[in-house]
Amino acid sequence: MFRNRSTQQWQDADNTNYLHPFTDYKSMRETPARVVARAEGVYMWDVDGNRVIDSMAGLGCVAIGYGNKKLAAVAAAQLEKLSYCHSFFRTTNREAIELSEKLVAISPPGMSHVFFTTSGSEANETAIRLARRYWDLRGCPERKVIIGRDNGYHGSTMATASLSGINTMHGAGGDLPLPGFAHIGCPDHFLFGAGESSEAFGLRAAGWLEDKILELGPDKVAAFVGEPIQGAGGAILPPESYWPEISRICRKYDVLLVSDEVLTGFGRTGHQWGMQGYGAIPDILTCAKALTSAYVPLSATIISQSVADVLIEQGGEWYHGFTYSGFPMACAVALANLAIIEDEDMIGRISRDIGPYFESRIQELNTLPIVVDTQARGLFAGIKLGRNATTRTLFDEELGVGPWCMQWALDNGLALRAMGDTMMLLPPLVVTREQIDEIVDISRATFEAAW
C-alpha cells in the first residue's frame, strides 16, 4: 500500500507537501513529526515500532479506544448498503433518523431535535446561526451578539474562531473577532481568584456575564456559549457555583444558553454531558468527537423543543446545511459507538471507579516542586507547571517548559498536550488503572526532568 521509505524520507515528504493544523512549519524541519503507523486500545505505534500511550485520546475524541473491529465492520457494511444519502429535498435515511432519536433520548431534559454536521466547528457555527435565526423569527432581529469567554475554544472557522477567546487565533489571518461577538473572563480560580473561596469566585465570574449583557443591552444579546470545562484554552475547571449562576442569568435576560460539549460529551466527566455534572440545562448543545469515537467525522447541534418550535412553526426554509449532514455511514458508526459506551457502562465506570482513581493519581503530582496546581474531573485533567509550587508562581511566558515536556514525554512513550505550561490529559474512556499508572509515571518522570 505504501511506498517503501525510511522514517526520515516520510518526514521529509511530510514537510514538503503537507500543511499540518496549528503548527509552526519551520520548526517541523528541526523537530519532524512522529509518523504513526497503527493504534490499538490506548496505544499507538510509530513506523519504527515505538509504542506511545495516548493520554490525549487523539484530540480527546477516541473514546472507546483505537482499532475497534465492531465499528470498522459497521462502517464497511454501511458503505456497501448505502454509501451516501443527502438530507436535502425531502430525502432521508434510517441511520440519521435513528441517531437523532438516540441523541434526543440521552440529551438533557427538553431537547427535541438534532442537526447533523461534520466537525465541532460546524456544529458551533450551526448553533451561532440558529441562535440568531431564532431571535429573527421571534421578531427581535437586533438580538445578534453571541458572548463567549477568554480562552474559550469553539473551532477554527471565521465565526467559531471569533467566538473563541484565544488571541492568537484572532490574529491568525482573519482580523477577528468578526462583529457580533463579545467575550467575558473565564472562571479560572487559580489565575483570577482574589483570595476568595472557589465558590465565591464562581459567583463573581458568572457575574461578568450579567455585566456584559447590561453593557451591551439585553435586547442585543442572542446567546452565551461555553464549554462546561474549557479545554484547548487551558483545562479550566469552573467552581461548582459557576454554571447554575450562569444559567440563572441567561434565564433572567432571556439569553440562549449553548453548551459546547464537543470535548465533554459522552462520558468524559463521568456524566453523559459535562453540563449535567454542573447542574445547568442548555437550550442548545453541540457535540462531536466521542460521538463516533473519531472513527469517522460527525457532529451534531441538539436543540430544545422551545427553540425547535420557533424554527419549525415560524421559520419557512432555513438556508443552512452541508453535503455531509446526516451522512449514513457516520450515523451508523455513531449508533454502534454509543451502544458500546452504554453496554459496557463506561460512564458508570468513570463516575464510580476509574474517574476517582485518575483524579487521585493526578493529585499526587502536586508534591512535585514544578507542579503549581492540578485539576481533574472524571477523565479530564489539567496540570499547571510553574517555577515555585509553594508560592504558586508560574514561569515567565518565554521560559515556559510545556512544549519541552510534551516532546520529552512523547520521546519517552507518552502523548500528552501542552497549552503553554498547562498540561492536559484526556485518556480514552476505556483506560485501565494500570494504564493510568503508566500515564502518571511517565508524566512524573517528565516533570522531574523539566525541573
Q: Does 121 bind ligand PLP (CB under 6 A)?
A: yes
| Set of cell numbers at residue 166 | 484565544
Among 266, 170, 268, 278, which Cα is nearest to 226's? 278
Q: Does 260 bind ligand PLP (CB under 6 A)?
A: yes
Q: Which is nearer to ligand PLP, 58 or 67 (CB)?
A: 58
Task: In whole angstroms, give the CA distance from residue 320 to residue 7.
Answer: 44
Stretch that binds ligand PLP, among 1-9, 25-33, 115-123, 130-138 (CB under 6 A): 115-123
Residue reference for cell 473577532: 177
Task: In whole angstroms, give the CA distance from residue 107 to residue 335.
Answer: 14
Q: Which residues contact 127 (CB under 8 A, 6 or more apart)?
A: 223, 225, 258, 260, 284, 286, 301
Q: Which is nearer to ligand PLP, 127 or 365 (CB)?
A: 127
Q: Does 153 bind ligand PLP (CB under 6 A)?
A: yes
Residue reference for cell 464562581: 202
Q: Which is nearer to ligand PLP, 153 or 273 (CB)?
A: 153
**Residue choice 187, 202, 231, 282 for contact with ligand PLP (CB under 6 A):** 231
Q: Does 263 bind ligand PLP (CB under 6 A)?
A: yes
Residue reference for cell 484572532: 170
Q: Does 245 bind ligand PLP (CB under 6 A)?
A: no
In angstroms, give the least distance from the CB of 343 to ligand PLP: 26
Stretch that binds ligand PLP, among 86-94, 125-133, 148-156, 347-355 (CB under 6 A): 148-156
In angstroms, give the least distance from the CB of 152 to ligand PLP: 8
Q: Does 288 bind ligand PLP (CB under 6 A)?
A: yes
Element (H, E) at 191: helix 189-192
Stretch that binds ligand PLP, among 65-73, 126-134, 226-234, 315-323 (CB under 6 A): 226-234
Stretch that binds ligand PLP, among 82-90, 116-124, 303-311, 371-379 (CB under 6 A): 116-124
Please list, residue by residue across 58-77, b when 16 or more beta carbons sit within 10 angstroms of its beta carbon and e when fewer do.
bbbbbbbbbebeebeebbee
**Residue choice 120, 148, 226, 228 for contact with ligand PLP (CB under 6 A):** 120
Among 328, 323, 333, 326, which Cα is nearest to 115's? 326
Among 184, 277, 296, which Cα is nearest to 239's? 277
**Residue choice 41, 108, 148, 155 for contact with ligand PLP (CB under 6 A):** 155
Q: Which is nearer to ligand PLP, 118 or 374 (CB)?
A: 118
Q: State the DSSP code for 369.
A: T
| Set of cell numbers at residue 214 | 447590561
**Residue choice 95, 125, 150, 227 for contact with ligand PLP (CB under 6 A):** 227
From residue 48, how far is each of 5, 45, 124, 339 by CA, in Å?
11, 8, 39, 35
- Residues of this chain that bind ligand PLP (CB under 6 A): 59, 119-121, 124, 153-155, 227, 231-232, 260, 262-263, 288
